[in-house]
Structure 1
């Protein structure tokens, strides 16, 4: 699914999912073998492969939902 990553006005990383009209703050992130693993404030877990570090935001990426 397509996800847009950006910083909100407070400077926190957020993920926006257009198909769900959902925008949530990223509360946890870590590196895993498949890519970068993000946990959103609503409990969703996303894995995004091939992210460059540092992130050049805003950016739209393809993400896999682990749990929603």
Structure 2
């Protein structure tokens, strides 16, 4: 699914999923062998396999929902 990553004024990373009209804070992020793993405040887990480091925000990326 396509999601938009951005930072809010306090510096917290936000994920916006347009098809679900969902915007949530990232509470945890880690690097895995498959890519960058994000855990959102609502419990969703997303994997971004092709995410550049450092992040250039805002940007739209393709992510896969794990849970």
Deviation, 1:11, is 0.9
- Distance across 2 between alignment mates of 1:36 and 1:18: 20
Runs (5+) with no aligned partner, structure 2: none
Count the aligned residue pairs: 67
Q: Which residue of 2 aligns with 1:9?
A: 9
Using the size of structure 1 for normalisation, the TM-score is: 0.96
- CA RMSD after TM alignment: 0.5
| Larger strand percent | 1
Q: How far 1:50 sits from its partner (Å)?
A: 1.5
Structure 2 match to 1:57: 57
The answer for unaligned runs of 5 or more in structure 1 is: none
**1:22 to partner: Cα distance:** 0.2
- Tell me what 1:47 maps to: 47
**What secondary structure sits across from 1:19 in the alignment?**
helix
